[in-house]
Amino acid sequence: MKLCFYFVFALCLLAHVFIVVSANPLMLPTLKATKLHKIEPRKIPKVISPAGILSTTYYIKSCPNLEGIIQQKVNDWIKKDYTIAASIIRLHFHDCAVRGCDASILLNHAGSERAAQASKTLRGFELINEIKAEVERRCPRTVSCADILTAAARDATVIAGGPFWEVPFGRKDGRISLAKEANMVPNGHENVTTLIDFFQKRGLNIVDLVTLSGSHTIGRSTCISIQQRLDNFRGTGKPDSSMDVGYLNFLKKQCSRDTNFVNLDATTPRTFDEVYYKNLQTKKGLLQTDQLLYSDARTAPLVAALASQPQLFISQFAVSMVNLGNVQVLTGTKNGEIRHNCNYVNP
């Protein structure tokens, strides 16, 4: 019965992916006024969300080589250091999670998001700066840092073995960046209710939450982020009982120092695949927020569906990354700017 439920659930989720990716606007029948009711149609203003203004052809004339520039730079960096792929995806999430995808995480000044405690382990700033410098050389004052970071996250995903998706462009860069807001981003210790609420406030749903958590199929974490799970979980003086004993012992050896790194995916850390979800089913989720996804009734069926269907994970990841990239974007000349340097607002 349980397997049947997962099968039906997965089919519904797959249908959702197909609809989001390929659906055309609904063709509604035209209503004709009868002779008895000759009513002049009222002109209703069309309301377009900021995300609806974005376009995959936004720079096709003003900077036609943009995507090639970004792809080449990202590829060069990942060749030298494969761990930078996960870092760029994470940097993009931290940007979009605070004030939307406006490159506010890149601003480098006292009291900025970048200076927050929660941002201390973020990486990839130098790569974005290098891309921006080359883009400015070829297309001066044309491309926003927010668009560069969004496209770089896509290319990092593809190079790491994940899916490709078309990135809609047209975001503007924000002028405000506050450390206290960055410290509100989930850090691996929250419960599922808190995570769901955090995502919903940004227009993302529970499917996006579970799917985007799958980015932990690659990348690493510092040991300090999980130390309390290893020896003093919730002040009990004991390790987290939801962790596989063998995996627990392995992590204790790996984390002899808080500054050491451990892979987020215990099984296939260099492969972008669904094994991250299978690890949760065998109590091998590294972060507490990872493991809780399989113990909570609201998210466990999604974990099971994504674990059993690799293509479902790949397809939905592309959809959810587009959703993430559309969070509270700034568009138009009044809402933001195109920074000349990603580290500073324009003078």
Domains of the chain, start order: 52-183 (1.10.520.10), 187-325 (1.10.420.10)
Query: Are 80 and 317 a contacting pair, CB within 8 Å?
Result: no
Q: Above 50 in pLDDT, residue 122? A: yes
Write out the two tokens for 192: 């599922």
Looking at residue 136, the DSSP 8-state letter turns out to be H
Is there a catalytic annotation at residue 94?
yes
Report the percent of the chain where pLDDT is more than 70: 86
Q: Which residues are annotated as a binding site for substrate?
A: 186
pLDDT (tens digit, 9 = 90+) per residue, 299-332?
Answer: 999 999 999 999 999 999 999 999 999 999 999 8
Query: Are 320 and 202 a contacting pair, CB within 8 Å?
Result: no
Q: Which residues are annotated as a binding site?
A: 95, 98, 100, 102, 104, 113, 186, 216-217, 265, 268, 273
Q: What is the model's pLDDT at position 37?
A: 39
Per residue, the 3-state secondary structure of 222-243, as one string, reads: EHHHCHHHHHCHHHCCCCCCCC
SS3 of residue 346 by DSSP? coil
SS3 of residue 12 by DSSP? helix
Q: What is the model's pLDDT at position 7?
A: 42
pLDDT (tens digit, 9 = 90+) per residue, 143-163?
Answer: 999 999 999 999 999 999 999
Q: Of residues 16, 37, 94, 109, which has the active-site annotation?
A: 94
Residue 121: exposure state from Cβ atoms within 10 A (0-12, 13-18, ≥19): middle
Beta bridge partners of 261: 222
Query: Are 195 and 289 a contacting pair, CB within 8 Å?
Result: yes
Q: What is the model's pLDDT at position 48?
A: 67
Q: How far apart are CA 210 and CA 217, in angstroms?
A: 12
Q: What is the model's pLDDT at position 20?
A: 38
Q: Which residues are annotated as a binding site for Ca(2+)?
A: 95, 98, 100, 102, 104, 113, 217, 265, 268, 273
Ramachandran quadrant class, 121 (left: phi over 0; alpha: psi -120 to 50; beta: rest): alpha
Per residue, the 3-state secondary structure of 83-101, as one string, reads: CHHHHHHHHHHHHHHCCCC
Report the percent of the chain where pLDDT is more than 90: 84
pLDDT (tens digit, 9 = 90+) per residue, 105-121?
Answer: 999 999 999 999 999 99
Q: What is the model's pLDDT at position 49?
A: 78
Q: Which residue has the tokens 């009711």?
A: 37
pLDDT (tens digit, 9 = 90+) per residue, 7-53?
Answer: 444 444 544 443 333 333 323 233 333 333 343 444 544 556 778 89
**pLDDT band with cut points at 50, 70 and 90 for residue 213:** very high
pLDDT (tens digit, 9 = 90+) per residue, 182-210?
Answer: 999 999 999 999 999 999 999 999 999 99
The whole-number average pLDDT for the span 139-146 is 98
Q: How far apart are CA 243 and CA 248, in angstroms?
A: 6
Write out the two tokens for 67: 């995507």
Q: What are phi and psi of 323, to 5 degrees?
A: -60, -45
Q: Above 60 in pLDDT, residue 72? A: yes
Average confidence score pLDDT of the chain: 89
Q: How far apart are CA 72 and CA 57, in angstroms?
A: 19
